[in-house]
Amino acid sequence: MQAQFAPLVLLIDDDPAVLTVLEALLQQGGFRSVSVGSAQKALDLLDTLPFDVILSDVKMPEMDGIELLRNVVSRRSDLPVVLITAHGSVPLAVEAMKAGAADFLLKPFDRTEVLFVLRKAMIAAQHEANEVPSSRSLSRKLVGDCAAMREVRELICRHAGTTGTVLLRGESGTGKDLVARALHDQGPRSGSPFVKVHCSALPEPLLATELFGLEQGASSGAASRKPGRIELAREGTLFLDEIESLPASLQIKLLGVLLDGQPGRPGVGGTETEVRVIAATRRDLAVMVSAGTFRDDLFYRLNVVPIWLPPLRERGEDLGALAEHFASIHCGAHGRPAVKISRDGMALLAARRWPGNVRQLENLIERLVLVSDELELGPEAIGRELDRRGGAPLPAVPSVPAGTGEEADVDLDRRRRDAEGLALRAALERAKNNRTLAARLLGISRRTLYNKLDEHGIV
């Protein structure tokens, strides 16, 4: 049972000897792996198995690791990619990060380092999947014209070209990541790296390495020098999401970076670098300062340019424009005919409180686009999905044939299993056997879908 749920790694290297070494290493570390000798073979496998992470060499014939990375990001932005190179340097790492790499390894590497980096990449990817809609790369646009959003756009225009630290405040799902990206894209740093770190996604030791890096030999997992995200964001933007989760020991290190520009890598004094820092929080840091759980000097250093994002319940006049925007985005993304939302449908949406804010609205609209065959979404279709907590509608379970006995008719486990199998088949049929789409229809992860298909013997 443990092997079934072990993380699955797609290994890519044109050197069979390297693949053999990595396969053995991963097996010892509790991973499963599938190995291929070229980037094209890897792309052919991408949608056939529930991979948790990709580990690929950079220098390969025909298609190198960077080009492979760009292909994976365009097709499976939720799948973390870690690159390996013997020719690595900070410039190559920056290029990989800009292209969407989760992390990188420099040869020679050791067992501890490989397992460390893969686990860290999967933790961060899972956090990202839980926080952001699947179409996050398609909908990066600040929509709405309420007074609060006009002020947000004015602040972006005013401060995008400056170097001041920005603190974004607002509930989960209000679009803080979009504002951070807009501040970067609309300023002179747009051609430099935009590096995002989830401060709540990693335990303290991993987060310390993620931010500040390691020098060669500074720990058992540092076979080579490892630049941190602060250094990788040189001349660009470092976005620290959920800054309220930053442990106290790392708050003082970050303060040092903000005060004197030093990355502060463990084991060295650090080299000077210019980084524009944007932090985001869903909590009141001033209250945390009063409670002694957040440093006051760090708070004041972060709060140079405060920007507050309003919750969706305070943006009633924007809800229609947001819903129509998401409908257009997801119809195009999933190859569905254009749909409209009726006046009564809009009224039903407006009556909700939306605790998940804009993110929750987008997820609902995407589900409606996927599961509805109607060209106009009215209150019936919208209400059905609003009341549904899970995924696709369960098909009716056929009645138990006569003569099978009363116990069969009331066998709840059998009924549940039959219903689950029918739901899986219905989702695959609606998705035309696209398993990524089927998982989204069912409201489950791809890995859970594959486990369920295996359990029910559905090929």
Q: Which pLDDT does position 272 carry in this prediction? A: 43
Cβ pair 339, 331 in contact under 8 A: yes
Cβ pair 189, 236 in contact under 8 A: yes
- The CATH number of the domain covering residues in 406-456: 1.10.10
Q: Which pLDDT does position 412 carry in this prediction? A: 64
Q: Which pLDDT does position 76 carry in this prediction? A: 86
In the chain, the amino acid numbered 141 is: K
147-310 matches 3-129 in CATH topology: yes
Distance of CA 400 to the CA centre of its chain: 43
Backbone torsions φ then ψ of 234, nearest 5 degrees: -50, 130
Residues 6+ positions from 56 with CB-CB distance below 8 Å: 10, 11, 12, 13, 39, 42, 65, 68, 69, 81, 82, 83, 84
Q: How many CA atoms lie within 13 A of 289 on its CB side?
A: 12
- The CATH number of the domain covering residues in 313-386: 1.10.8.60
- The CATH number of the domain covering residues in 147-310: 3.40.50.300
- pLDDT tens digits, the chain, 459 residues: what are they? 344 568 899 999 999 999 999 999 999 999 999 999 999 999 999 878 889 999 999 989 889 999 999 999 888 888 999 998 876 566 777 788 888 899 888 877 778 889 988 998 888 887 776 654 444 444 467 899 999 999 999 999 999 999 899 999 999 999 999 999 999 999 998 888 899 999 998 889 889 988 988 765 555 445 566 788 998 888 899 999 999 999 999 999 999 888 875 444 433 334 444 889 999 999 999 999 999 999 999 999 999 999 999 999 999 999 999 999 999 999 988 888 999 999 999 999 999 889 999 989 998 998 899 888 889 999 999 988 887 644 334 344 444 444 444 444 556 667 777 778 888 888 887 777 777 777 777 777 777 787 788 778 786
| Third-level CATH fold of 3-129 | Rossmann fold (3.40.50)
Q: Burial code of 110-148, b = ≥16 C-beta within 10 A, e = fewer?
A: ebebbbbbbbbbbbbbebbeebbbbbbeebeeebbebee
Q: How far is CA 59 from CA 20, 72, 108, 113, 348, in A?
A: 18, 17, 15, 20, 54
Q: 241, 9, 211, 206: which is closest to 128 by C-alpha?
A: 241
Q: Which pLDDT does position 459 carry in this prediction? A: 63
Q: Which pLDDT does position 138 carry in this prediction? A: 43
Q: How far is CA 228 from CA 91, 181, 210, 262, 448, in A?
A: 13, 20, 5, 12, 33
Q: Which pLDDT does position 433 carry in this prediction? A: 75
The full set of domain ranges for the chain reads: 3-129, 147-310, 313-386, 406-456
